[in-house]
Chains A and B, each alone.
Chain A
Amino acid sequence: GIQVEQSPPDLILQEGANSTLRCNFSDSVNNLQWFHQNPWGQLINLFYIPSGTKQNGRLSATTVATERYSLLYISSSQTTDSGVYFCAVGPTGTASKLTFGTGTRLQVTL
């Protein structure tokens, strides 16, 4: 099956700093989503981005499908950004499941 690798596995930032999280995948996809898992375990959908660039406030994401990677940018980080960020991809095909990466654990300190 498709392989999804995320880097870095852990990241510690001071409040106000910027960061870039990376997701590499091994096959063609027609679905890519970024999630933030909060301390209560909820998966918050950040972006549906199988290709192109999107922005939502301090967050933005870019997927280069032809090169099989996606980037999540967090600017001016806040303590509420702490948690685990997951990239999940779905290969080409109907009703295809999402395969999750192992996540990036982000801790934002004061």
Chain B
Amino acid sequence: EPEVTQTPSHQVTQMGQEVILRCVPISNHLYFYWYRQILGQKVEFLVSFYNNEISEKSEIFDDQFSVERPDGSNFTLKIRSTKLEDSAMYFCASRNSGGNSPLHFGNGTRLTVT
């Protein structure tokens, strides 16, 4: 069964550094998402992306964050200048159509900012 793949599985970075988290959504999917989960808390929506533009973003997704689909397969999340509070698990998800279809999640990237 096709799956969403995320790399790396774990990334450690120093405060102030830029990080790029990478995702390869399922190939025929059209809608892409990033979520994050701070340790011990619930999963929070960051941003959704469709037709090469952001369709919705949360208040968490400030100017430090950006997303890109640089080619036909990758979907990336960039954090420009990481803060300690950016430490979390970041999940990528995709779906193949609008509302009436499930989201498929990747295994996540655990980001640790020191």
Contacts and interface: CB of A to CB of B under 8 A. Distances in A.
B65 interface: no
B45 A43 contact: no
Contact of B100 (A50, A88, A98): A50
Contacts of B11: none
Given A31-B100, A50-B100, A100-B43, A95 B108 contact: no
B98 A95 contact: yes
Interface in A46-100: 48, 50, 86, 88, 90, 92-100
B99 A86 contact: no
Contacts, number: 64
B103 interface: yes
A107 interface: no
B98 A88 contact: no
Contact of A97 (B56, B91, B102, B107): B56
Nearest to A40: B107
Contact of B99 (A88, A93, A101, A103): A93
A99 B108 CA distance: 17
B27 interface: no
Given A42-B108, A95-B50, A97-B56, A90 B43 contact: no
A19 interface: no
A30 B99 contact: yes
B102 A31 contact: yes
Contacts of B103: 31, 33, 88, 90, 98
A86 B31 CA distance: 21
Interface in B47-68: 48, 50, 55-56
B108 A97 contact: no
B56 A95 contact: yes
Given A86-B42, A95-B48, A100-B44, A42 B107 contact: yes
B110 interface: yes
Contacts of A31: 99-103
B50 A97 contact: no
Interface-centre pick from A33, A45, A94, A98 (highest chain B CB count, 10 A): A98
